[in-house]
């Protein structure tokens, strides 16, 4: 795991290699702990995708029985 600041910038970037592919991105964060957590989350997302584990989407609010769903508004 590697987080670093580029040049004279105040934000951290991360860089790592996964399965021979290099990944690097700005975290847009000045806090090294938050940047490290963002790098860890990016790695975990790749590992889960490689293992066939799908991310669950947020649960929708339960609908009362016998009521019609509201139409989506733009």
pLDDT per residue over 16-47, tens digit each?
999 999 999 999 999 999 999 999 999 999 99
pTM recorded for the entire structure: 0.67
Q: What pLDDT is attached to residue 36? A: 95
Report yes or no on 71 lying in a domain.
no
Q: Quick check: is 61 in a domain?
A: no
What's the pLDDT at 58?
72
Q: In this model, does residue 61 exceed pLDDT 90?
A: no
Question: Does the pLDDT value for residue 62 go beyond 70?
Answer: no
Query: Is residue 65 over pLDDT 80?
Result: no
Cα distance between residue 56 and residue 70, in whole Å: 23
Phi, psi of 4 (to 5 degrees): -160, 165
| Residue 68 belongs to some domain of the structure | no
56 assigned to some structural domain: no
Task: Indicate the number of domains in the chain.
Answer: 1
CB within 8 A of 69, min separation 6: which ones? Answer: 63
In a domain, 10, yes or no: yes
What 22-29 contacts at long range (C-beta under 8 Å, 24+ apart), as own/partner pairs, is 27/3
Residue 8 lies in a domain: yes
Domain assignment of residue 33, given as a range: 2-50
Radius of gyration of the chain (CA): 19
């Amino acid at each position: 795991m590697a987080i670093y600041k580029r040049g004279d910038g105040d934000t951290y970037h991360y860089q790592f290699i996964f399965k021979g592919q290099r990944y690097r991105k700005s975290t847009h964060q000045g806090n090294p702990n938050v940047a490290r957590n963002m790098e860890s989350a990016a790695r975990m997302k790749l590992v889960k995708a490689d293992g066939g584990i799908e991310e669950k989407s947020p649960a929708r609010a339960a609908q009362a029985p016998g009521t019609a769903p509201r139409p989506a508004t733009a």
